């Protein structure tokens, strides 16, 4: 019986993900190349293309584990999560979570966080640069109003928090880096990923700065964010942290806070 279009589409998607469907084979017209062979070629092409796209998006993960291991990771992910959008730069948001639960990757507990960093850099790079808050923008704001305001991070910015020194791991994995090993016991890393003029980059934050930025992401006021940062790090200096982040163009807009 001929498959209705929705059933045909579902069968084809299942086949691409690795599920053989006899009803799909029966619906495909073969000539000198049997239907089964045609479908196998297409499945291989899709798997190869999507794995290559993932390798481009997660270059640090591939550098750490090697091409063969990464290929297995990518093919496993592709079998579980085909693209929902036609733009391949938007494919892979769930890859870090997949890495975290993938049994062969459990020996590398930092790998999922590296994948999160790769993804964050990808998102930032493909986000519009936009205008950033500068010191001159604060000149016209009364000092007593500042604590009640909140600050919005730039589009595509994200805070990556890891128990491992993923900043050092990332740098050690870049082409041309020294062969020095990274001590996994060196401590956690909190990174703010931002769009730059022609690239994306991350800023290493200390404990107080990370708590401050995390609170700002939630939309709270500068006063509340500072209180949270002081709870995380009693030595937190709001003036110094704010000035540093302002200089690094980490803020996109000031607005009235409704989050307290």
Query: What share of the chain in percent tops pLDDT 70?
Result: 80
79: its two tokens: 């079998």
Largest CA distance in the chain: 80
Is 236:212 a contact under the CB 8 Å cutoff? yes
60-69, 133-142, 172-181: which is most confident:
60-69
Same domain, 39 and 128: no
Structurally, how many domains does the chain consist of? 2
* Pair 6, 102 in one domain: yes
Q: Where are the beta strands (DSSP E) in the chain?
A: 149-152, 158-162, 189-195, 200-205, 253-256
| Domain match, 92 and 122 both | no
Q: Are 191 and 202 in contact (CB under 8 A)?
A: yes
Q: How confident is the model at residue 32 (pLDDT cuts 50, 70, 90)?
A: low
Mean pLDDT (the chain) is 85
130-144, 155-169, 189-203, 218-232: least confidently modelled range: 130-144
Average pLDDT over residues 147-156: 90
Between 32 and 178, name the one with better pLDDT: 178
Q: What was the pLDDT predicted at 136?
A: 86
**What confidence score (pLDDT) does residue 258 get?**
47
Residues 152 and 132 in one domain: yes
Cβ–Cβ under 8 Å, residues 245 and 209 = yes
For residues 226 and 255, membership in a common domain is answered with yes
Cα angle 38-39-43, degrees, rounded to a multiple of 5: 125
Residues spanned by the domain of 219? 109-260
Task: Collect all residues with Cβ–Cβ distance below 8 Å to 37 and sequence separation of at least 6.
Answer: 30
The answer on 117 and 202 residing in a single domain is: yes
Higher pLDDT, residue 47 or 98 = 98
Q: What pLDDT score does 97 carry?
A: 96
Looking at 108, 135, 159, the residue that finishes a domain is: 108
Last residue of a domain, one of 82, 108, 134: 108
Asked whether residue 134 falls in the same domain as residue 176, the answer is yes
pLDDT beyond 90 at 146: no
pLDDT, position 260: 45
Average pLDDT over residues 46-50: 77
Instruction: Tell me, yes or no, whether 54 and 6 share the same domain.
Output: yes
The answer on pLDDT for 259 being more than 50 is no
pLDDT for residue 40 is more than 70 = no
Indicate the residue among 76, 108, 140 that finishes a domain. Answer: 108
> Is it the case that residue 235 has pLDDT exceeding 60?
yes
Dump pLDDT digits (tens) for 93-144. 999 999 999 988 999 999 999 999 999 999 999 998 888 988 888 887 887 8
Residue with tokens 């939309």: 219
Residues 49 and 122 in one domain: no
- Does 253 lie in the same domain as 131? yes
Is residue 220's pLDDT more than 60?
yes
Q: What is the pLDDT of residue 199?
A: 92
Q: What is the arithmetic mean of pLDDT over 14-24?
A: 60
Q: Same domain, yes or no, for 115 and 223?
A: yes
Residues 42 and 161 in one domain: no
């Amino acid at each position: 019986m001929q498959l209705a279009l929705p059933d045909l589409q579902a069968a084809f998607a299942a086949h691409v993900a690795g599920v053989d469907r006899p009803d799909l084979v029966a619906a495909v017209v073969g000539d000198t190349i049997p239907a089964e062979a045609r479908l196998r070629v297409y499945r291989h092409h899709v798997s190869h293309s999507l794995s290559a796209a993932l390798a481009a998006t997660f270059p640090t993960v591939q550098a750490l584990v090697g091409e063969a291991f990464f290929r297995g990771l990518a093919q496993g992910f592709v079998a579980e999560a085909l693209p929902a959008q036609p733009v391949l730069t938007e494919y892979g948001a769930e890859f870090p979570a997949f890495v975290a639960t993938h049994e062969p990757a459990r020996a590398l507990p930092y790998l999922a966080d590296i994948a999160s960093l790769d993804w964050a850099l990808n998102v930032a790079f493909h986000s519009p640069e936009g205008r950033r808050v500068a010191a001159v923008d604060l000149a016209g704001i009364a000092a007593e109003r500042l604590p009640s305001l909140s600050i919005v991070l730039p589009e595509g910015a994200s805070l990556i928090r890891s128990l491992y020194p993923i900043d050092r791991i990332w740098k050690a994995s870049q082409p041309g880096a020294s062969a020095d090993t990274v001590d996994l016991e060196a401590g956690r890393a909190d990174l703010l990923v931002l769009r730059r003029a022609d690239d994306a980059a991350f800023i290493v934050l200390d404990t107080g700065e990370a708590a401050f930025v995390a609170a700002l992401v939630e939309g709270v006021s500068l006063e509340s964010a500072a209180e949270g940062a002081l709870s995380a790090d009693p030595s937190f200096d709001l003036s110094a942290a704010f000035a540093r982040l302002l200089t690094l163009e980490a803020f996109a807009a000031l607005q009235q806070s409704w989050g307290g």
